[in-house]
Structure 1
Amino acid sequence: MTTLLRRWSVLGRLSELPGPIRLIVLGQLAFNTGFYLVLPFFALHLTRDLGFGGALVGLLLGLRTFSQQGLFFVGGALADRFGTRPVALTGFGVRILGFLLLALADGAVLLVAGTVATGFAAALFSPAVEAELARRAGELERDDGPTRSEAFAMFGVAGEVGVVLGPVIGSLLLTVDFAATTLAAAGVFVVVLVAFARGMPRRPAAHAGEPVLAGWGEVLSNPAFLAFTAAYSTWLLSYNQLYLALPVELERGGAAGMLGVLFVLSAVLVVLGQVPLAELVRRRLGARALPVGFGVLALAFAATAVLIGFGTAGPVPAVVFVVLLTLGQMTVVPVAQDAVGRLAGERRLGAYFGVLASGGGLAVLGGSALLGSLLEAQGPPALPWAVTAALPLASAVVMGVLVRRVPALQPDHSLTSAERNSP
């Protein structure tokens, strides 16, 4: 029984990781806790407290998304050139500055500055942290430790805990005021900055002295990775429908009050299931999990479309969507993040992770505009869901081709060295 509980325990698995990797995993919990202290309440603050109109609120939210997701490729290239540690620490400092500006802001100028700083901070530290995790976890796997996909699974679990904790703490602090919430978020990142400065060992930049543009050139000359990025981008677009399409469906079904419950359901599924599922997927499927996982994502939209088409009322279509989407997420994401290092040849990981994230940002920008127009149209309510199902389905096909044809993605690469050498 103790062994079984340990297998399903995130904390138990964390004890198997070296200090720097453990710091990165726990740091992800802190990143999301601090970020989600503020994000869910930002639009409410702009409209209720500052009296801004919808156009300015939309502009500020769009600026945040662009300055974060759209600029990941910049942070990734800088991490390769100057080192993951200094770029990550700089990102933490910029995030602290951004939150301080938002706490002080009572007009558009400071709000724009704080919003851009908050977003760009993640464009600096996220690809740097992911590249460092990929590099160190890859080294650990080669020494027959936990695999890189398992390390990324733990990274994802920690992030989901932060997604739950942040809004809960933020809602309590919001009873004081928005400034107190943002100052608390800044305090979280002060702790993160100190922890990483003390606990993350210095190591030379992987490509010190080389031009920053050289990293982008190498990524853009890797056709297998570009195809992988295009296919993977529909994952972020699919996940974004928790914020766009899901509230619309709950409103249609008369269950708008269920939105928070479904977010908690998704987080609980990840916290309880991500690590054991990642281990099962690694042993049984390897990289073949990529087409399978995208197939599950497509099924999430298709099943929801069918349920809506048959007139299913209440929250049932939304619950089915969230459960299947989360299962697809848990299947795809750790394997895909491990695959980035393999496709990159373990080189320029910052640039590769940055371009991967920016590709997803572009997909969200274009795809959400299309889906938003379908949601607002007077057509059948199942139509947006059916159309969106085609996107991860196309990714499943592309991933299936890549897994068969690209050596770095073939199943035996997902095994540890001990398993590959076993009779």
Structure 2
Amino acid sequence: MTPLAHLLVTSQFAFNVGFFAVLPYLADHLGGTLGLGGALIGLVLGLRTFSQQGMFVVGGALTDRYGARPVVLTGCALRVAGFVWLGYAEAAWSVTAAVVLVGFAAALFSPAVESEIAREAVRLEQAGGPVRTRVLARFSAGGQAGALIGPLVGTLLLGEGFRGACLAGAAVFTVVLAGHWRLMPRAEAATAGERVAFRPIVRNRRFLALALAYSAYLIAYNQLYLALPAELDRAMGSQKALGWLFALSSALVVIGQVPLERWASARLGPAAMIRCGLALIALAFAATGVLLPVRGPWPALAFVVLLTLGQMLVVPAARACVPELVDARRLGLFTGAFSSVSGLVVLAGGAPAGALLELGGTAPWLALGIVPVLGVLLVPRVGGMPGDRTPETASENRFCQKR
């Protein structure tokens, strides 16, 4: 990989270490140390999600207009300020403002980094290097490694109190900021001086189809936080194994992401990889439903393993498809919109999924398995990519056309 690709993968790892060292323990801090009520805690956590996921499209648009470097640096600086503020905040309004700032910082950083790694992956592929999914698989593995290590770091730091964890998280993002300040190259903004236009998102039907297919994956992935704990309670009477299953999922991605991508990309194109990944996720729900009569953690274990294998196919392949469906000059905008659209769909699907799970038994698992099947049907054809050829002409490959 190029030095820029190494920088982006490393920064994704460090970003997730800092994030997961603090955020998993936020709810306990709000309810325990600060004594906030359940409704207010839910509101604070919801605002954090909206200020991050819902605002990705803004961060992406700013990346196109001003370039990735200033947006990444601003996002890191705001994350440092947000964590320091959160560590010292005590009043409800102060905590809420700090959490929103932390979320918005990620809404700047993440789409800038994700669009830049996608550009670099395409450059490498066009220059005769590895296929783009290889670079994006390493990016995903780096992020998951950070998600695996972050909570362990947070647990160690909580001996110094929640404030100590926040300050340590701020220190991590200070290092990320310094690294990008020194190593990230300056580049001309793709749409400098142009108005930000969101209409191209709505008019790009293939992109929206891909975003909805990816949403099907995210709705399924969200069941790690909803259906999996309920299943552990049913089968084992507690959720003590939950942390171990999350660690297993992250470890599978860290260890297996690149080898699985190498095997799959030699046989399939990115669009086909997404379809196979979604099919594996559908199988995860079906297998769990069938295994429910089995005692012990086996249904939950089957669910986590199959879901994670599907995730390892879907995530890098979906990121690889986006540049082929959009105008390269607005890759940041579409990368941000990809996350925002998916986040809104997951938000809308959360309540129905929860209501379905309350019914108990096999039927809810089989019903939830229909969601990724629908996602398989939504994956668009992607021309101009190895293994995903279509009758469309090369001129319709907008990324190559605009390079």
- Normalised by the length of structure 1, the TM-score is 0.89
Whether contact under 8 Å (2:212, 2:378) holds in the other structure is: no
Give the equivalent residue in structure 2 for 1:325.
307
Tell me if the contact between 2:272 and 2:388 (Cα under 8 Å) persists in the aligned partners: no
Distance between the aligned counterparts of 1:82 and 1:327, measured in 2? 37
Q: Establish whether residue 38 from structure 1 lines up as the match of residue 14 from structure 2.
A: no
> Are residue 210 (structure 1) and residue 194 (structure 2) matched?
yes
Alignment partners' CA distance in 2, 1:381 and 1:105: 44
The one of 231, 239, 256 aligned to 1:256: 239
Q: Which residue of 1 aligns with 2:383?
A: 407
Q: Give a deviation string over 1:92-111, Cα, whole Å, max 9, x none.
A: 11111111111011111111
Q: Deviations over 1:352-403 (max 9, x none)?
A: 111110111112211111112223x3x233333222111111001222xx23
Report deviation, 1:265. 0.8
User: Could you say which residue in structure 1 is the equivalent of 2:249?
Assistant: 266
> How much has 1:412 moved relative to structure 2?
5.0
In 2, distance between residues paired with 1:394 and 1:202?
42
Describe the shift of the 1:125–1:285 C-alpha distance in structure 2 as closer, same or farther (beyond 3 A): same
Q: Deviations over 1:135-186 (max 9, x none)?
A: 1221111111222211110011111111111111100110110000000001
RMSD: 1.5
Of the three residues 234, 241, 246, the one matched with 2:228 is: 246
State whether structure 2 residue 47 is matched by structure 1 residue 47.
no
In structure 2, distance between residues paired with 1:68 and 1:182? 18
Deviates more, 1:340-349 or 1:72-81: 340-349
Q: Do residues 221 (structure 1) and 206 (structure 2) align?
A: no
Question: Are 1:158 and 2:134 matched, yes or no?
Answer: no
Question: 1:102 is matched with which residue?
Answer: 86
CA contact (8 A) 2:267 2:387 kept: no
- Say which of 133, 147, 164 aligns to 1:180: 164
Cα distance in 1 between the residues matched to 2:289 and 2:385? 32
8 Å CA contact retained: 2:220, 2:372: yes
Q: Which secondary structure state, in structure 1, belongs to the residue aligned with residue 159 of structure 2?
A: coil
From 167, 182, 186, the equivalent of 1:198 is: 182
The CA distance in 2 between the partners of 1:397 and 1:61, in whole Å, is 33
Residue in 1 that maps onto 2:77 = 93
How many Å apart are 1:77 and its aligned residue? 0.8
Contact conserved, 1:83 with 1:206, CA < 8 A, in 2?
Answer: yes
User: Which of residues 61, 77, 99 is equivalent to 1:115?
Assistant: 99
Tell me the CA shift for residue 67 of structure 1. 0.7
| Distance in 1 of aligned mates of 2:329 and 2:212 | 20
Say which of 361, 378, 382 aligns to 2:362: 382
Counterpart of 1:9 in structure 2 is none
Out of 242, 260, 270, the residue aligned to residue 277 of structure 1 is 260
Distance 1:201 1:271 in 2: 28
Which residues in structure 2 correspond to 1:321-400 (within 5 Å)? 321-375=303-357, 377=358, 379-399=359-379
Alpha-carbon distance between aligned partners in 1 of 2:218 and 2:111, rounded to the nearest angstrom: 16
2:48 aligned residue: 64
User: 1:149 touches 1:338 (CA, 8 Å); kept in 2?
Assistant: yes
Separation in structure 1 between the aligned mates of residue 385 and residue 353 of structure 2, nearest angstrom:
32
Deviation at 1:345, TM superposition (A): 4.3
SS state at 2:35 partner: coil
Q: What amino acid maps onto 1:19 in structure 2?
A: P
Contact residue 341 and residue 347 of structure 1 kept, 8 A: no
Structure 1 residues 201-210 or 284-293, which shifts more? Answer: 284-293
Residue 273 of structure 1, CA deviation: 0.8
For structure 1, list consecutive stretches of 5 or more residues without a partner in the other structure. Answer: 1-16, 415-423
Asked if the contact 1:343–1:408 (Cα under 8 Å) also holds between the matched residues in 2, the reply is no
> Does structure 1 residue 292 correspond to structure 2 residue 276?
yes
Q: For 2:63, which of 65, 79, 88 is the aligned residue?
A: 79
Assess if the C-alpha contact under 8 Å between 1:153 and 1:274 holds in 2.
Answer: yes
> Deviation digits for residues 322-377 of structure 1, max 9, x if unmatched?
000000001111111010011114331111111110111112211111112223x3
Classify 1:279/1:84 alpha carbon distance in 2 versus 1 (closer, same or farther; 3 Å): same
